Amino acid sequence: MSEEKRSIHGTWSSRWTFILAATGSAVGLGNIWKFPYMAGDNGGGAFVLVYLACICIIGLPIMLGEIMIGRRGRSSPANSMKSLAAEANTTSAWTLLGATGALAGLLILSFYSVAAGWAMSYIFNGFQNITAESSSSSFNNLLSSPLSLIFWHSLFIAITVFIVARGILKGLEKWINTLMPMLFLIILLLCIYAMQTGAFFEGLRYLFMPDFSKINPQVMLEALGQAFFTLSLGMGAIMAYGAYMPANQNIGKTAVSVAALDTGVALLAGIAIFPIVFANGLAPSEGPGLVFVTLPIAFSAMPFGILFGTLFFVLLSIAALSSSISLIEPGVAWLIESLKIKRITATILLGFAAWFIGLFSALSFNLLSEFTILGKNFFDATDFLTNQIMLPLGGIFIAIFVGWVMKKEHVLDELGFQENFIFKAWYFSVRFVAPTLVGLVFLYFFL
């Protein structure tokens, strides 16, 4: 193992920090905002089933691969790929994969920040006397106000830039350590609330009873994209974090814990939200507004709802921040290494780019709503391009890199594995299963 080699950006302060930071990256709007609405748009159980299969069969093996590349390369994703390609005597064109990953990160951040802005603005919602109608109309009011959307989007990017410019290795741990369990507890509380709405079982049935007739190429691609998105895979975020991971940490166990925590949070969010949807006569296919319409209804109906509601959206905003910093870190680390510029300069540069592109997403709900690409507004089009195309494609190449480009002895050495059954199953997956399945979903969708 690469004992002495450390990243020029530093190392996590303890073994737990990597797990915390990677979980902080994975758990975010993807779990609480995106997963429920995508499940609702795609018919519930069928989507959830394909999503869970994608997490286990494709996501987990690729996550191991990403951590491993990062830790062995000990630099930004682009430069880690470059040095590992050199170690395997192949072309440095693999740097490109890291570079497009950094670009995907910026594009994701551009619209992620707009949605994170919704969460921040909901901190001040008040959570009193909210009905299904009033909740829908206040969300629509927010969307129709360009100034509010741009304000919150700008604030979110500014906070992200502030944290990343100071360096993510310090301080992150403490925050994630205490705030994530609190977020988890409020989601549990919402689940308990959901139990007494009278529609709890209807919600569970919707989420977990697959209607196989609803599985089609589109559902499969969306579930695949969501699996990558929620685990922060396919663009180098986990790779960048892996570069700061101590050499004596077990990569396999770490990856399993992160994936399990992330999936648990998404499922609990679904369990909390769908009963509220049905109990209030809302449609599961409400779209991106689903959580923002349903949860305020629940908070306004429960005791101490103002307290819990405010706290929930504070914590959700922080969870979004611990994700957004991982979207920009691969690009920042790369700029620092290759242009030899200061961290603060690199961060401001990329933050500005994400902010600027994000303006179009913010305006796509109001002033620019007529402007569509392939029938999607700018927000949805960026989401589609990144999550359904760039991340899975990045995932195929990462799997190929680990399975076919890197030498097997280097892989074994870095993972600290014996050539046992688990290794063989994983290696088979990155060599054959993951690339083929992702390829098939693409073929199936585009042909």
What element of type H or E holds 195? helix 172-195
Residue of 19, 22, 26, 119 that binds ligand TRP (CB under 6 A)? 26
Does the footprint of ligand TRP cover residue 232 (CB under 6 A)?
yes
C-beta of 112 vs 427, nearer to ligand TRP: 112
Q: Give Cα separations from 342 to 12, 129, 165, 237, 338 (angstroms).
A: 20, 50, 9, 20, 11
The answer to whether the beta carbons of residues 232 and 59 sit under 8 Å apart is no
Does the footprint of ligand TRP cover residue 327 (CB under 6 A)?
yes
Residue of 229, 378, 379, 397 that binds ligand TRP (CB under 6 A)? 229
C-beta of 279 vs 391, nearer to ligand TRP: 391
Does the footprint of ligand TRP cover residue 331 (CB under 6 A)?
no
C-beta of 83 vs 326, nearer to ligand TRP: 326
Does the footprint of ligand TRP cover residue 237 (CB under 6 A)?
yes
Q: Which of 258, 239, 259, 257 is nearest to 414 (CA)?
A: 239
99-128 binders of ligand TRP (CB under 6 A): 108
Does the footprint of ligand TRP cover residue 322 (CB under 6 A)?
no
Taking the complex as a whole, how short is the minimal distance between the CB of residue 348 and ligand TRP, in angstroms? Answer: 20
Q: Binding segment for ligand TRP among 22-30, 173-181, 195-203, 273-281 (CB under 6 A)?
A: 22-30
Taking the complex as a whole, how short is the minimal distance between the CB of residue 398 and ligand TRP, in angstroms? Answer: 12
- CA atoms of 401 and 262, how far apart (whole Å): 25
Alpha helices in 209-342 (DSSP H): 217-230, 237-242, 251-279, 290-301, 305-339
Taking the complex as a whole, how short is the minimal distance between the CB of residue 300 and ligand TRP, in angstroms? Answer: 26
The residue nearest ligand TRP at its CB is 30
C-beta of 261 vs 336, nearer to ligand TRP: 261
Taking the complex as a whole, how short is the minimal distance between the CB of residue 253 and ligand TRP, in angstroms? Answer: 20
Taking the complex as a whole, how short is the minimal distance between the CB of residue 240 and ligand TRP, in angstroms? Answer: 10
C-beta of 130 vs 164, nearer to ligand TRP: 164
- At position 202, the amino acid (one-letter code) is E
29-48 binders of ligand TRP (CB under 6 A): 29-31
Binding mask 376-415 for ligand TRP (x = CB under 6 A): ---------------x------------------------
Overall residue count recorded for the chain in this entry: 447
Taking the complex as a whole, how short is the minimal distance between the CB of residue 340 and ligand TRP, in angstroms? Answer: 26
Q: Binding segment for ligand TRP among 28-36, 53-61, 250-258, 438-446 (CB under 6 A)?
A: 28-36
The answer to whether the beta carbons of residues 133 and 280 sit under 8 Å apart is no
DSSP assignment of 333-366, as one string? HHHHHHH---HHHHHHHHHHHHHHHHHHHHHTTT
Taking the complex as a whole, how short is the minimal distance between the CB of residue 391 and ligand TRP, in angstroms? Answer: 6
62 is written with which tokens?
A: 């690729």
Q: Which of 260, 259, 253, 261 is nearest to 422 (CA)?
A: 253
Q: Binding segment for ligand TRP among 50-58, 90-98, 154-162, 225-233 (CB under 6 A)?
A: 225-233
Q: Which of 115, 140, 146 is nearest to 28 (CA)?
A: 115
Give the distance, in angstroms, between the CA of residue 409 and the centroid of all CA atoms in the same chain. Answer: 31
Render the burial of 301-317: b for 16+ CB within 10 Å, e for the rest: bbeebeebbbbbbbbbb
C-beta of 305 vs 392, nearer to ligand TRP: 392
Taking the complex as a whole, how short is the minimal distance between the CB of residue 86 and ligand TRP, in angstroms? Answer: 26
The answer to whether the beta carbons of residues 312 and 319 sit under 8 Å apart is no
Residues in contact with 306: Cβ distance below 8 Å, sequence separation at least 6, in sequence order? 126, 127, 128, 299
The two most distant CA atoms of the chain are separated, in Å, by 66
Q: Which of 264, 242, 237, 217 is nearest to 55 (CA)?
A: 264
Residues lying near ligand TRP in the complex (CB under 6 A) are found at 25-26, 28-31, 108, 229-230, 232, 235, 237, 323, 326-327, 391
